[in-house]
Chains A and B, each alone.
Chain A
Amino acid sequence: EPEVTQTPSHQVTQMGQEVILRCVPISNHLYFYWYRQILGQKVEFLVSFYNNEISEKSEIFDDQFSVERPDGSNFTLKIRSTKLEDSAMYFCASSEALGIAKNIQYFGAGTRLSVL
């Protein structure tokens, strides 16, 4: 069964450093998403991406964050200068399309980001 793959599973970084979280969405999917889950809190939407553009982003997704699809398979989330409060589980998801029956978001196993 196709699945969303995320690497690394755990990333430890120093405050102020740049990190790139990587995701390989399901191959025939066209919409890509990042969510984060701070320990003990709700899952929060960060951004959605379609046709090489951001479709929607939340208030959390400020100038410190960026997303990119550098090639035909990878989808990345970059945090330019990490803060302690960026420590969280980051989930990548993908869906085939929008609309009825096709907007099911499938999730990767997550990357745990620890900012020290």
Chain B
Amino acid sequence: AQTVTQSQPEMSVQEAETVTLSCTYDTSESNYYLFWYKQPPSRQMILVIRQEAYKQQNATENRFSVNFQKAAKSFSLKISDSQLGDTAMYFCALLMDSNYQLIWGAGTKLIIKP
């Protein structure tokens, strides 16, 4: 069975600092996708960044980047120059190429302090 683990229930950093959120996963399939979603207090689920497992290059979206270590089954999210608006729950999610359902981690609550 596929699983996603986020071991940091809560993190807080000062504005403008860099923060890294951890995620590990387990799957026996070779083709899959990994996602980070952000859920602000409004509770909307917003896609932050995604990574295809077959791509070795780490994905980057502006201030957000990932460190994808396929052998270690690790997929961490780095937020550079953090902003107050980054305060949210962050969920790591896994999607196999063979099916439809996202498998979710428990989430990390990130607080950016002014």
Asked if B105 and A35 make an inter-chain contact with CB atoms under 8 angstroms apart, the answer reads no
In the complex, whether A104 has a CB less than 8 A from a CB of chain B is yes
In the complex, whether B59 has a CB less than 8 A from a CB of chain A is no
A93 to chain B, nearest CB (A): 8
Asked if A35 and B102 make an inter-chain contact with CB atoms under 8 angstroms apart, the answer reads yes
Asked if A103 and B95 make an inter-chain contact with CB atoms under 8 angstroms apart, the answer reads yes
Asked if B100 and A91 make an inter-chain contact with CB atoms under 8 angstroms apart, the answer reads no
What CA separation (Å) do A29 and B98 show in the bound complex?
18
A103 cross-chain contacts in B, Cβ below 8 A: 33, 95, 97
What CA separation (Å) do A91 and B91 show in the bound complex?
14
Among A55, A103, A106, A109, residue most surrounded by chain B Cβ atoms (within 10 Å) = A103
Interface residues on B, range: 20 to 34
A107 to chain B, nearest CB (A): 4
In the complex, whether B52 has a CB less than 8 A from a CB of chain A is yes
In the complex, whether A89 has a CB less than 8 A from a CB of chain B is yes
What CA separation (Å) do A110 and B43 show in the bound complex?
7
Q: Choose among B45, B50, B97, B106 the residue that contacts A104 (Cβ–Cβ < 8 A).
A: B50
Q: Which of A3-18 contact B (CB under 8 A)?
A: none
Asked if A107 and B46 make an inter-chain contact with CB atoms under 8 angstroms apart, the answer reads yes
B105 to chain A, nearest CB (A): 7
What CA separation (Å) do A99 and B54 show in the bound complex?
13
In the complex, whether B99 has a CB less than 8 A from a CB of chain A is yes
In the complex, whether B101 has a CB less than 8 A from a CB of chain A is yes
In the complex, whether B44 has a CB less than 8 A from a CB of chain A is yes
Asked if A91 and B45 make an inter-chain contact with CB atoms under 8 angstroms apart, the answer reads yes
In the complex, whether B42 has a CB less than 8 A from a CB of chain A is yes
**Smallest CB-CB separation from A108: which chain B residue?**
B44
0 or 1 for each of A34-70: is its CB under 8 Å from B? (1 = yes) = 0100000111110010000001101000000000000
A-B contact pairs, 11 of them (CB 8 A): A31-B100, A43-B102, A43-B104, A56-B100, A98-B100, A101-B52, A103-B95, A106-B47, A107-B45, A107-B46, A110-B44
Interface of B with A (CB < 8 Å)? Answer: 33, 35, 37, 42-47, 50, 52, 91, 93, 95, 97, 99-107
Minimum-distance CB pairs A-B, first 3 = A45-B101, A107-B45, A48-B100
